[in-house]
Amino acid sequence: MVSIPMGLSFEAMVIPKLDAGDGEFSNTGLGVKWTFTDAILPLPLVDLAIRGHLTSTKFEYYQVINAVNTQVEFSDTITGVQLLAGLGLPVFKPYVGVGTISADGEFDIKGSNTIFNFTSATKVSKKVTDTQFLVGAELTLIIFKAGLEYSK
């Protein structure tokens, strides 16, 4: 996480494409948070923020199913927006939040065979959107920062 003045913070987590024999995996996560109590509405010991995030994951592998070479692909994209409120303590910062989260996933099989009893297609996709509730805390010790978060 990188923070700049005016309450802006940026997050990035990238796992570049990893090849492991007959499989590949990649993951990218990005986030931006604006703590508006740092920028325009200073409140003592209170942090209010809005955060947006995006995560994209892809996993694919090759295998032989009933003597047929088959490529199996999974991809998922998760996006969300959250409103966060927390205590602005110097070392330990607990927080709660509410937001909306959307996931768009796809499972695809390329080959002349089927698995998992798909009856009419070898591709399945699903998109869901829901309300998200979360609680977490950050611990800051000089140059070390750790966080823990639970979300439902």
pTM of the model: 0.81
First to last CA, the chain: 23
Q: Which residue has the tokens 């798909």?
A: 118
**Predicted local confidence at residue 32, as pLDDT:** 97
Counting as low any pLDDT under 50, the low residues of the chain are none
Question: Which tens digit of pLDDT belongs to each residue from 129-152?
Answer: 999 999 999 999 988 889 999 999
Look at residues 65, 69, 73 and name the one whose alpha carbon lies nearest to residue 25: 73
**Predicted local confidence at residue 117, as pLDDT:** 59
**Predicted local confidence at residue 88, as pLDDT:** 85
Q: Calculate the CA dihedral of residues 49, 80, 26, 11 and round it to 10 degrees.
A: -10
**Predicted local confidence at residue 121, as pLDDT:** 59
